[in-house]
């Protein structure tokens, strides 16, 4: 990939293995700096789901036309590995906060395994006070830092899978797959309390976000090497990889022209549901089919 590449050609996903200490927005900014530093144009860029600064792992970075799909990543299931340190609960439910509760109870591996079923499937969860959720128009973490009492509503989530990976006398490491809106810090808090102790998260790593996993993730250093070597294409996954769970819908040139103009296709035989309409190998639009009518959800400007 040459330094003269047109910005419109960068349409796809860079799966960043986000390092410790960076916010998701800083991860996006770092990708922009790497592209700019090596003379490449910077396309529209956004991320597909916030990851805490104290967390590492899979952060999908949407480039160009893929930014139209970034919102779908927010709704996707996520995978995590996390470690709970027993004996102290902090204000932030992670290693950054001040200790607010203590316990001498240290659960055994057998005790931990026995309660995993209670945290699998649909469950209710109260988000952490230190979160980006809004309370009366203000971020919860800002209110908490100002010393105000933060009361957040219970939300319904789904834990698809929760496994105990390893234990030490004072901690336990878990692997899980969860629905959107799940706070791992809250899950850790509730696990510890159910075990008659208290705890907080000391390690959090996202292993999966929708169709993307750590196998596809690269570090910022590796990204910089690929850009410098004019091989950025090795880091950019096609736009369609963010739609692996969406069935394809082959369309004619006439139908593609209509969809690009925002017109509906009437009397179409497509089955009801969401489809990726493509003209050959070129994605044209994300569409919704219902009772023979096909309408555009997201259109793509690709050649």
Report, as residue numbers or ranges, the catalytic residues: 52
Q: Where are the alpha helices (DSSP H) in 210-264?
A: 220-228, 253-260
Length of the chain, in residues: 303
Burial state string for 52-67 with b = 16 or more CB within 10 A and e = fewer than 16: bbbbbbbbbbbbbbbb
Angle between helix 24-37 and helix 220-228 axes, rounded to 10 deg: 20
Using a 10 angstrom Cβ sphere, with 0-12 exposed, 13-18 middle and 19 or more buried, the burial of residue 115 is: middle
- Residue pair 121/159 in contact (Cβ under 8 Å)? The answer is yes
**In this structure, are strands 155-167 and 121-125 parallel, antiparallel, or unpaired?**
antiparallel
| Opening angle at CA 61, ends 155 and 201, nearest 5 | 45
Reading the block at residue 108, the tokens are: 């055994």
- 159 Cβ contact list (under 8 Å, min separation 6): 119, 120, 121, 123, 176, 177, 178, 179, 182, 187
- Tokens 């204000």 belong to 91
176, 161 Cβ separation under 8 angstroms: yes
């Amino acid at each position: 990939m040459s330094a003269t590449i047109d910005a419109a050609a960068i349409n796809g996903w860079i799966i960043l293995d986000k390092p410790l200490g960076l916010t998701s927005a800083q991860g996006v900014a770092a990708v922009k700096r790497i592209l700019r530093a090596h003379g490449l144009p910077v396309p529209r860029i956004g991320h597909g789901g916030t990851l805490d600064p104290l967390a590492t792992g899979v952060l999908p970075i949407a480039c160009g036309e893929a930014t139209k799909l970034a919102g779908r990543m927010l709704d996707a299931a996520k995978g995590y590995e996390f470690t709970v340190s027993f004996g102290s609960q902090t204000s932030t439910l992670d290693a950054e906060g001040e200790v607010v509760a203590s316990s001498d109870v240290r659960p055994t591996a057998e005790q931990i395994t026995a309660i995993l079923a209670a945290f699998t499937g649909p469950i209710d969860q109260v988000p952490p006070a230190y979160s980006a959720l809004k309370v009366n128009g203000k971020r919860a973490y800002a209110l908490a830092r100002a010393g105000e009492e933060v009361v957040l509503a219970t939300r319904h989530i789904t834990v698809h899978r929760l496994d105990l990976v390893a234990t030490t006398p004072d901690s336990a490491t878990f692997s899980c797959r969860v629905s959107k809106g799940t706070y791992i810090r809250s899950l850790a808090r509730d696990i510890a309390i159910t075990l008659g102790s208290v705890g907080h998260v000391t390690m959090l790593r996202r292993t999966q976000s929708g169709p993307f996993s750590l196998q596809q993730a690269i570090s910022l250093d590796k990204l910089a090497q690929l850009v410098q070597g004019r091989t950025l294409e090795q880091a950019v996954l096609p736009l369609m990889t963010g739609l692996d769970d969406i069935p394809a819908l082959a369309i004619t040139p006439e139908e593609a022209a209509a969809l690009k103009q925002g017109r509906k296709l009437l009397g179409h035989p497509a089955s009801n549901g969401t489809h990726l309409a493509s003209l050959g190998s070129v994605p044209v639009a994300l569409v919704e089919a219902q009772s023979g009518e096909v309408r555009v959800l997201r259109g793509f400007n690709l050649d």
